[in-house]
Structure 1
Amino acid sequence: MSDLYELLGGSTPENNLAEEYAGAIDLFGRLAGAIEDGNIRYAWEKAAEVRRYLERFERRMQETEEATDGGEPFLRFTGTDLDGQKVATAAVAFSQSYRAGKLLHPIDRIKDEAVKAEVQARQDRARAFRDELGV
């Protein structure tokens, strides 16, 4: 288990959900890159993958109840056993591995200083590695 994962509490429902979210962020970034590159075939493939991924993400969050609003039925999320702040911290931390995650979720949004320091250390190591490669 990585230091970051340990700092976040290991394998928890919050961390699992945050990892799923980070995966979606990765796919959105790939889709955006495909559009930027004009690679429509790859964009089409990524769009289909995003749809499947989001459906799976929705199933993971499936704790719902039927409700009505002005006579219109809808499903309302009722997953109250998750700690939203833990999900948010882990989601921002895990998303830092992806270009889109860095753009959407700046590292300064991480409130836990130990987690923030570990994410920053990972980024510093990756930057140093890229510099060594001359990339």
Structure 2
Amino acid sequence: MKCKLGIAFGLSLTFLTGCETTDSGSQSTTTRSGDSLEQIIADKGCDASFQCKVIAVGERLTCGGPSRYLVYSSRNVNEEDVERAAKAVTLTEQSENQNKIASEICEPVLPVQALCISNKCQSIVLK
């Protein structure tokens, strides 16, 4: 499936419909403080693109690698908390995958890059 970025680079790069999702979906694992990864990274406000980070989360059963990439703002979070929560989600998915049978189809999960657009960290798909 091919995805088109569209004509204007700065417009609507947040979610590329039809591409592999970079959102966390229904996965929600809590940390010691009780906050889920989604709650920890919810505030994506930024002043510059260097504050926008990407973290690989989860584990794909069929072909390995992360199940998704999430974007967050380092301005608003403790990066150790983000890494700890992402690791917890990944460990949970690894545990769940042990009881599953891999399919023959390997769904691609495209890596993303994070940019600060309109003072919000947003993801764009790398090709």
Output the TM-score relative to the length of structure 2.
Answer: 0.33
* Larger helix percent: 1
Point out the structure with max Rg over C-alpha. Answer: 1
* Larger strand percent: 2
Output the TM-score relative to the length of structure 1.
Answer: 0.31
